[in-house]
Amino acid sequence: MITEVSTLRKTYYEELSEKGYSRRDFMKFCTLFAAYMGLQSSGAAQIAKALQSTPRVPVIWLHFQECTCCSESFIRSSHPIVADIILDKLSLDYTETLMAAAGHQAEEAMQKTMKDHYGEYILCVEGSVPMAGNGEYCCIGGKSALNILEETAAGAKAIICWGSCASNGCVQAAKPNPTRATPIHKIIKGKQIVKVPGCPPIGEVMAGTLVHLITFGRLPELDGIGRPKAFYSKRIHDSCYRRPYYDAGLFVETFDDENAKRGYCLYKVGCKGPSTYNACGIMKWNNGVSYPIQSGHGCFGCTEEKFWDNGPIYQRLANFPGFGIETTADKVGMIALGVTAAGIAAHAVATNLRKHKMVEDLIDQGKVSDQELKKPE
């Protein structure tokens, strides 16, 4: 268990207290992440207890074929304690992007962590691993990405795949995939692995995954393809504020038409919300200010496998993988994906007929009530 890490290191709460955070700030943070992770009412207390008693967990954070957007998202999380808990409390022993050390000094830090905390540290991986050309497309310190991954994974307590690059290969794996970019789970076997896809993932989703691991000493409950259910169990379509327009058959046809100005549904201009599982519409970005659909651009499905090879971004798709996670959503999604334009029309008509029938029933009920009132006593 992670709680068995040497108590010589300070606990998370001790570190936060030294940073000037009050007990109130700490409990607000615990409550926030308990809600994010869908825990019961006792979840906040469990998180608080774990962070008060658990020593800092050593982390090795690797970067391979990627753009570092995951790290950027992480350190820009809307909650200030998230940044502190990640950058200071996690004992981030090695990361090419954020560590002060470089060269041999950086490599020594990684080797020391692997030796001193074998079986205890968390391995975070950002980026896919190129398998072509004996790994020559990505080398760090004279070693290939593949060699580094295998070496660090051997003693890891758990592996977290940050972003779509590490989770499914992302754009590097797009056809014809010249570097043979490969996601982590297809290389490493026999380890606890959690995928946190997105390009990039939401910072709070990343932090929530880590907090769960720290609190309970195990990975959060995962869906059928290894993603945390707390954040990836619902489609963006299900929480989209433009959903009523979809149900009513009101769509943007081009980005500069009147329907776009009215904020109608973006499905016809390529939005993949009906087939994409993520918490964007609930948690949003930049302090909860907005997300792509709210800013006027359709979702392009960055959390789903092979989204880059499934046709143009600005056209709705007749075929999109990733179903089977949520059966009830799939039935609606078959229409949402709109194998044909008739599918959209049929759905809109059916919805409007239901609404029309409901209105007629209410009118009839009103007439009956009116007649009852007019009856002589």
- CA 302 to each of CA 169, 186, 249, 321: distance values in angstroms, whole numbers, following the listed order: 11, 19, 25, 12
| pLDDT on residue 1 | 43
pLDDT tens digit sequence for 188-235: 999 999 999 999 998 888 888 887 787 777 888 899 899 999 889 899
The amino acid occupying position 259 is: N
For the chain, the average pLDDT equals: 77
pLDDT: is 70 or 162 the higher one?
162
Scan for tokens 């009412």, then name that residue: 41
Phi, psi at 252, each rounded to 5°: -75, 130
Rounded Cα–Cα distance for residues 312 and 310 (Å)? 7
Nearest to 3 by CA among 116, 155, 157: 157
pLDDT tens digit sequence for 51-95: 666 677 788 899 999 998 888 888 776 555 555 655 555 666 777
| pLDDT on residue 23 | 74
**H/E segment holding residue 110:** helix 103-116
pLDDT band at 350 (very low <50, low <70, confident <90, very high): low
| pLDDT on residue 167 | 95
Scan for tokens 């329907």, then name that residue: 259
Which 3-state string (H, E, C) describes 73-107?
HHHCCCCHHHHHHHHHHCCEEEECCCCCCCHHHHH
Which domains, and CATH codes, for the chain?
A: 2-231 (3.40.50.700), 236-353 (4.10.480.10)
